[in-house]
Amino acid sequence: MQRSIVAVFLAICAAAGSLYAQQRTRNVILITLDGARTQEIFGGLDQEIFASTDKNFQKTGTYKRFWAETPKNRREKLMPFFWKTLLVSQGSIAGNRELRSSVQTTNQLFFSYPGYSEMLTGEAHDDVIKSNSHPQNPYPSVLDFLQKKLKLNKDQVADFSSWDAFERISTNNPGSFLINAGFMPYESSDREIAALSRAQSATLPAWNGARFDYYTFRFALSHMRQHHPRVIHIGFDETDDWAHEKNYERVLQTLNMTDRFLKEIWDLVQNDPAYKGKTAIIITTDHGRGKTANDWHDHGADVAEAQNIWMAFFSPGVKLRGEWKEAQTIYLNQVPATLCRYLNLDYSEQNPKAGKPIEQLFAE
């Protein structure tokens, strides 16, 4: 009798504890690394790809810096903070097919606008959104939903992205929240950030339509410090553009640089009372790419394996750590409902056809 009372008491405590952990999540951060392949995320430097771009690749500083014998050691050299700190003590990652975990897009186009639209609205629309130059997204995003639901002002919801198309992708209602994408200046009272915004206009960009990720990172971080947005998307781009150029060294260097960005974002989240202990983060990508030396740089409906992506999760109250194993496939269209679930909101109110919250994260 007594033992069963104790058991019931413990069960109530556990339930209350987890409810408390979920209720105290006040902010959500979505970070994207455009077209970052599962191969580098889970296995680090890919020798076969590197060799296809440079016969003397083993002589490069990049090779010496990031090469190691095992995939585990290679990825830890490439993204040390992500693999050795974040995923050890703070969260988990799905999508390593070697461990029978798979993450896929539900859109069948495997390029950016359809991918981000699926990720932000919760539903693929392959019949409507079939070009990166598609005009304003006709469908409301999770950013739109959270702004309404949480009654947030223009600065409390934000999208900072390197690619200018986010002005069109992230909302069906332009002007309702802050979007700083492409080469838009970022107004700031911080003199260093203001100087950086001027430098952005003076720097010749590498690509039409996308600025260097460093600007995006610095503006986003500054905005978080000053305005404490409760909902923010930070969209990095260089992993995709360097790959299209078949510049594998830059792809690796970009992943390493992004790892340092992640550390600074995490440090801010840990040290700022507005974020500490009440912020959930999802890090993912919009599409995969080819897996061979012939097509690793490319993606799209005709590129085999470009539907395979990865997704990482960090939040209070979720105990999963490290890599998912033997797990049911999850999908890109589940991102909005999952972000809302962290905040105890129900995204199906906006879109009943959107992917459901990722249940593995919330199972007891």
List interacting residues with Zn ion (CB under 5 A): 240
Kindly calculate the radius of gyration of the chain based on its CA atoms and give it in whole angstroms. Answer: 20
C-alpha to C-alpha distance for 238 and 206, rounded to whole angstroms: 10
Sign, Cα dihedral of 44, 88, 96, 98: positive
Which residues does 23 contact at the CB level (< 8 Å), separation at least 6? 344
* Minimum distance of Zn ion from residue 115's CB (angstroms): 10
Q: Which residue is at the shortest CB distance from Zn ion? A: 240
| 97 contacts 305 by C-beta, under 8 angstroms | no
* Minimum distance of Zn ion from residue 269's CB (angstroms): 29
Nearest CB to Zn ion, comparing residues 40 and 240: 240
* Minimum distance of Zn ion from residue 251's CB (angstroms): 12
What does the longest C-alpha to C-alpha distance in the chain come to? 76
Write the burial class of residue 201 (CB in 10 Å: 0-12 exposed, 13-18 middle, 19+ buried): exposed
The Cβ-side half-sphere exposure at 21, using a 13 Å CA radius, reads 16
How does DSSP assign 179-225, residue by residue?
A: EEETT-----SSHHHHHHHHHHHHSPPSBTTB--HHHHHHHHHHHHH
Bridge partner list, 157: 231
Write the burial class of residue 80 (CB in 10 Å: 0-12 exposed, 13-18 middle, 19+ buried): middle
| 234 contacts 29 by C-beta, under 8 angstroms | yes
* Minimum distance of Zn ion from residue 298's CB (angstroms): 8
* Minimum distance of Zn ion from residue 62's CB (angstroms): 21
Nearest CB to Zn ion, comparing residues 238 and 240: 240
Nearest CB to Zn ion, comparing residues 239 and 279: 239
Nearest CB to Zn ion, comparing residues 213 and 240: 240
Nearest CB to Zn ion, comparing residues 144 and 240: 240
| 208 contacts 170 by C-beta, under 8 angstroms | no
* Minimum distance of Zn ion from residue 250's CB (angstroms): 14
Nearest CB to Zn ion, comparing residues 233 and 287: 287
- What residue has token string 């085999």? 304
C-alpha to C-alpha distance for 98 and 36, rounded to whole angstroms: 17
| 303 contacts 322 by C-beta, under 8 angstroms | no
Nearest CB to Zn ion, comparing residues 23 and 292: 292
Choose among 108, 90, 50: nearest CA to 250: 50
Nearest CB to Zn ion, comparing residues 129 and 158: 129
| 143 contacts 338 by C-beta, under 8 angstroms | no
* Minimum distance of Zn ion from residue 316's CB (angstroms): 34
* Minimum distance of Zn ion from residue 35's CB (angstroms): 5
* Minimum distance of Zn ion from residue 266's CB (angstroms): 27
Q: Letter for the amino acid at 133?
A: S
Nearest CB to Zn ion, comparing residues 147 and 258: 258
